[in-house]
A and B are shown apart, each in its own frame.
Chain A
Amino acid sequence: NAGVTQTPKFQVLKTGQSMTLQCAQDMNHEYMSWYRQDPGMGLRLIHYSVGAGITDQGEVPNGYNVSRSTTEDFPLRLLSAAPSQTSVYFCASSLLAGDAYNEQFFGPGTRLTVL
Protein backbone atom coordinates (compact mmCIF):
# COMPACT_ATOMS: atom_id res chain seq x y z
CA ASN A 1 0.00 0.00 0.00
CA ALA A 2 1.21 3.49 -0.85
CA GLY A 3 -0.91 4.98 1.96
CA VAL A 4 -1.79 8.66 1.45
CA THR A 5 -0.09 10.34 -1.47
CA GLN A 6 -0.05 14.04 -2.31
CA THR A 7 1.05 15.90 -5.41
CA PRO A 8 2.81 18.17 -6.04
CA LYS A 9 5.38 18.33 -3.22
CA PHE A 10 6.14 21.99 -3.89
CA GLN A 11 4.26 24.71 -5.77
CA VAL A 12 4.74 28.43 -6.33
CA LEU A 13 1.77 30.46 -7.52
CA LYS A 14 1.15 34.09 -8.30
CA THR A 15 -1.71 35.91 -6.64
CA GLY A 16 -4.96 35.18 -8.46
CA GLN A 17 -3.86 31.91 -10.05
CA SER A 18 -5.81 28.74 -9.47
CA MET A 19 -4.60 25.23 -8.84
CA THR A 20 -5.61 21.85 -7.51
CA LEU A 21 -3.73 19.92 -4.85
CA GLN A 22 -4.14 16.20 -5.34
CA CYS A 23 -4.66 13.62 -2.60
CA ALA A 24 -5.20 9.90 -2.99
CA GLN A 25 -5.36 6.95 -0.62
CA ASP A 26 -5.39 3.23 -1.32
CA MET A 27 -6.64 2.00 2.05
CA ASN A 28 -10.37 2.17 1.23
CA HIS A 29 -10.87 4.80 3.91
CA GLU A 30 -14.22 6.54 4.10
CA TYR A 31 -12.93 9.66 5.85
CA MET A 32 -10.60 12.13 4.15
CA SER A 33 -9.60 15.62 5.15
CA TRP A 34 -7.40 18.58 4.32
CA TYR A 35 -5.38 20.58 6.84
CA ARG A 36 -3.10 23.56 6.52
CA GLN A 37 -0.07 24.14 8.72
CA ASP A 38 1.42 27.60 9.07
CA PRO A 39 4.99 28.08 10.41
CA GLY A 40 5.38 27.03 14.04
CA MET A 41 1.71 26.17 14.42
CA GLY A 42 -0.56 23.19 14.61
CA LEU A 43 -2.73 21.95 11.78
CA ARG A 44 -6.11 23.52 11.03
CA LEU A 45 -8.92 21.66 9.30
CA ILE A 46 -10.01 23.10 5.94
CA HIS A 47 -12.55 20.60 4.57
CA TYR A 48 -13.42 16.99 5.19
CA SER A 49 -15.44 14.17 3.66
CA VAL A 50 -17.10 11.13 5.21
CA GLY A 51 -17.60 9.36 1.90
CA ALA A 52 -17.93 9.77 -1.85
CA GLY A 53 -20.28 12.62 -2.68
CA ILE A 54 -20.23 14.06 0.85
CA THR A 55 -18.09 17.01 1.88
CA ASP A 56 -18.26 19.58 4.66
CA GLN A 57 -16.40 22.63 5.92
CA GLY A 58 -13.82 22.61 8.65
CA GLU A 59 -12.32 25.43 10.66
CA VAL A 60 -10.80 27.49 7.81
CA PRO A 61 -12.71 26.74 4.56
CA ASN A 62 -12.69 30.18 2.91
CA GLY A 63 -10.86 30.27 -0.42
CA TYR A 64 -10.88 26.49 -0.88
CA ASN A 65 -13.20 24.04 -2.63
CA VAL A 66 -13.29 20.26 -2.47
CA SER A 67 -15.14 17.40 -4.11
CA ARG A 68 -15.20 13.66 -3.50
CA SER A 69 -16.25 11.77 -6.58
CA THR A 70 -14.47 8.54 -5.60
CA THR A 71 -13.45 6.92 -2.33
CA GLU A 72 -9.78 7.18 -3.26
CA ASP A 73 -9.40 10.83 -4.28
CA PHE A 74 -10.01 14.11 -2.48
CA PRO A 75 -8.64 17.11 -4.41
CA LEU A 76 -8.37 20.58 -2.90
CA ARG A 77 -8.91 23.54 -5.22
CA LEU A 78 -7.69 27.09 -4.75
CA LEU A 79 -9.80 29.23 -7.09
CA SER A 80 -7.87 32.49 -6.74
CA ALA A 81 -4.69 32.13 -4.71
CA ALA A 82 -3.78 34.75 -2.12
CA PRO A 83 -0.52 35.25 -0.16
CA SER A 84 -2.43 34.30 3.01
CA GLN A 85 -2.75 30.79 1.56
CA THR A 86 1.00 30.27 1.68
CA SER A 87 1.28 27.21 3.89
CA VAL A 88 1.98 23.49 4.00
CA TYR A 89 -1.08 21.43 3.14
CA PHE A 90 -1.67 17.94 4.51
CA CYS A 91 -4.22 15.41 3.43
CA ALA A 92 -5.31 12.68 5.84
CA SER A 93 -7.56 9.63 5.74
CA SER A 94 -9.05 7.13 8.14
CA LEU A 95 -11.71 4.54 8.60
CA LEU A 96 -15.04 5.51 10.09
CA ALA A 97 -15.70 2.51 12.33
CA GLY A 98 -17.64 2.70 15.59
CA ASP A 99 -17.23 5.40 18.20
CA ALA A 100 -13.53 4.91 18.86
CA TYR A 101 -10.94 7.20 17.35
CA ASN A 102 -9.71 5.75 14.09
CA GLU A 103 -6.10 6.64 13.38
CA GLN A 104 -5.77 9.31 10.72
CA PHE A 105 -2.93 8.70 8.29
CA PHE A 106 -1.31 11.83 6.92
CA GLY A 107 0.31 12.37 3.56
CA PRO A 108 3.78 13.94 3.16
CA GLY A 109 2.39 17.42 2.49
CA THR A 110 2.43 20.03 -0.27
CA ARG A 111 4.41 23.20 0.37
CA LEU A 112 2.61 26.09 -1.35
CA THR A 113 3.97 29.60 -1.78
CA VAL A 114 1.79 32.38 -3.17
CA LEU A 115 3.65 35.45 -4.36
Chain B
Amino acid sequence: GESVGLHLPTLSVQEGDNSIINCAYSNSASDYFIWYKQESGKGPQFIIDIRSNMDKRQGQRVTVLLNKTVKHLSLQIAATQPGDSAVYFCAERRGAQKLVFGQGTRLTINP
Protein backbone atom coordinates (compact mmCIF):
# COMPACT_ATOMS: atom_id res chain seq x y z
CA GLY B 1 0.00 0.00 0.00
CA GLU B 2 0.94 3.67 -0.01
CA SER B 3 2.58 3.55 3.45
CA VAL B 4 4.97 0.81 2.30
CA GLY B 5 5.94 2.75 -0.80
CA LEU B 6 6.79 5.95 1.10
CA HIS B 7 9.38 4.26 3.31
CA LEU B 8 12.12 3.36 0.89
CA PRO B 9 14.79 1.12 2.42
CA THR B 10 18.00 3.06 2.90
CA LEU B 11 21.62 2.00 3.03
CA SER B 12 24.31 4.40 4.24
CA VAL B 13 27.97 3.62 3.63
CA GLN B 14 31.26 5.41 4.02
CA GLU B 15 32.99 6.59 0.89
CA GLY B 16 35.50 3.97 -0.16
CA ASP B 17 33.70 1.08 1.54
CA ASN B 18 31.92 -1.69 -0.32
CA SER B 19 28.12 -1.56 -0.61
CA ILE B 20 25.80 -4.54 -0.72
CA ILE B 21 22.21 -3.99 -1.84
CA ASN B 22 19.79 -6.85 -1.48
CA CYS B 23 16.62 -7.83 -3.28
CA ALA B 24 14.12 -10.64 -2.88
CA TYR B 25 12.28 -11.76 -5.97
CA SER B 26 9.07 -13.72 -6.29
CA ASN B 27 8.87 -15.54 -9.60
CA SER B 28 11.00 -18.62 -10.21
CA ALA B 29 10.11 -18.44 -13.92
CA SER B 30 11.95 -15.13 -14.46
CA ASP B 31 14.86 -15.77 -16.81
CA TYR B 32 16.90 -12.62 -16.26
CA PHE B 33 17.49 -10.37 -13.28
CA ILE B 34 18.62 -6.83 -13.78
CA TRP B 35 19.89 -3.98 -11.63
CA TYR B 36 19.06 -0.39 -12.45
CA LYS B 37 20.31 2.84 -10.89
CA GLN B 38 18.10 5.91 -10.68
CA GLU B 39 19.51 9.30 -9.80
CA SER B 40 17.21 12.01 -8.56
CA GLY B 41 15.00 13.41 -11.32
CA LYS B 42 16.27 11.00 -13.96
CA GLY B 43 15.19 7.80 -15.62
CA PRO B 44 16.63 4.43 -14.55
CA GLN B 45 20.03 3.50 -15.93
CA PHE B 46 21.11 -0.08 -16.60
CA ILE B 47 23.93 -1.42 -14.41
CA ILE B 48 24.20 -5.16 -14.91
CA ASP B 49 22.11 -8.24 -15.60
CA ILE B 50 22.41 -11.93 -14.79
CA ARG B 51 20.79 -14.91 -16.41
CA SER B 52 18.86 -17.25 -14.15
CA ASN B 53 21.25 -20.17 -14.82
CA MET B 54 24.20 -18.22 -13.40
CA ASP B 55 25.01 -17.42 -9.78
CA LYS B 56 27.54 -14.62 -10.21
CA ARG B 57 28.44 -12.00 -12.74
CA GLN B 58 31.00 -9.21 -12.51
CA GLY B 59 31.16 -5.84 -14.16
CA GLN B 60 33.19 -2.74 -13.61
CA ARG B 61 33.22 -2.24 -9.81
CA VAL B 62 29.96 -4.19 -9.51
CA THR B 63 29.13 -7.83 -8.85
CA VAL B 64 25.70 -9.40 -8.92
CA LEU B 65 24.98 -12.59 -6.98
CA LEU B 66 21.94 -14.77 -7.54
CA ASN B 67 20.71 -17.36 -5.06
CA LYS B 68 17.79 -19.19 -6.63
CA THR B 69 17.28 -21.43 -3.60
CA VAL B 70 16.11 -18.52 -1.48
CA LYS B 71 15.10 -16.25 -4.38
CA HIS B 72 17.63 -13.60 -3.46
CA LEU B 73 19.64 -11.19 -5.56
CA SER B 74 22.38 -8.84 -4.42
CA LEU B 75 24.42 -6.05 -5.97
CA GLN B 76 27.88 -5.39 -4.61
CA ILE B 77 29.55 -2.07 -5.39
CA ALA B 78 33.26 -1.91 -4.68
CA ALA B 79 34.95 1.22 -3.32
CA THR B 80 31.75 3.25 -3.20
CA GLN B 81 32.05 6.78 -4.57
CA PRO B 82 29.84 9.88 -4.11
CA GLY B 83 28.52 9.37 -7.65
CA ASP B 84 27.03 6.06 -6.55
CA SER B 85 24.40 7.86 -4.49
CA ALA B 86 21.07 6.90 -6.04
CA VAL B 87 18.10 4.56 -5.71
CA TYR B 88 18.87 1.04 -6.89
CA PHE B 89 16.18 -1.23 -8.28
CA CYS B 90 16.26 -4.91 -9.01
CA ALA B 91 13.99 -6.15 -11.78
CA GLU B 92 12.89 -9.52 -13.11
CA ARG B 93 12.30 -10.21 -16.78
CA ARG B 94 9.08 -12.09 -17.44
CA GLY B 95 8.60 -12.78 -21.11
CA ALA B 96 9.99 -10.77 -24.02
CA GLN B 97 11.37 -7.64 -22.38
CA LYS B 98 8.68 -7.15 -19.72
CA LEU B 99 10.21 -6.09 -16.42
CA VAL B 100 8.81 -6.31 -12.90
CA PHE B 101 10.63 -3.90 -10.60
CA GLY B 102 11.25 -4.17 -6.90
CA GLN B 103 10.63 -1.30 -4.50
CA GLY B 104 14.18 0.04 -4.57
CA THR B 105 16.90 0.88 -2.05
CA ARG B 106 18.30 4.35 -1.53
CA LEU B 107 22.10 4.35 -1.23
CA THR B 108 23.66 7.35 0.51
CA ILE B 109 27.40 7.90 0.73
CA ASN B 110 28.95 9.46 3.83
CA PRO B 111 32.17 11.42 3.26
Asked if A96 and B98 make an inter-chain contact with CB atoms under 8 angstroms apart, the answer reads: no
Number of interchain pairs (Cβ within 8 Å): 69
Asked if A41 and B103 make an inter-chain contact with CB atoms under 8 angstroms apart, the answer reads: yes
Task: Check if A53 is an interface residue, CB within 8 A of chain B.
Answer: no
Asked if B43 and A40 make an inter-chain contact with CB atoms under 8 angstroms apart, the answer reads: no
Residues from chain A with Cβ under 8 Å of B34 in the complex: 101
**Count, chain B residues at interface, CB 8 A:** 27
Asked if A59 and B97 make an inter-chain contact with CB atoms under 8 angstroms apart, the answer reads: no
CB distance from B77 to the nearest CB of A (A): 19
Given A38-B5, A101-B32: A43 in contact with B44 (beta carbons within 8 A): yes
Residues from chain A with Cβ under 8 Å of B96 in the complex: 31, 48, 50, 96
CB distance from A80 to the nearest CB of B (A): 23
* Chain A residues packing against B (C-beta within 8 Å): 4, 31, 33, 35, 38-45, 48, 50, 58-59, 90, 92, 94, 96, 99-109
27 A-B interface contacts by CB (under 8 A) = A33-B97, A35-B101, A40-B5, A40-B8, A41-B5, A41-B104, A42-B101, A42-B103, A43-B44, A44-B101, A45-B98, A45-B99, A48-B96, A48-B97, A50-B96, A99-B31, A100-B32, A100-B51, A101-B51, A101-B97, A102-B97, A103-B46, A104-B97, A105-B46, A106-B44, A109-B41, A109-B42
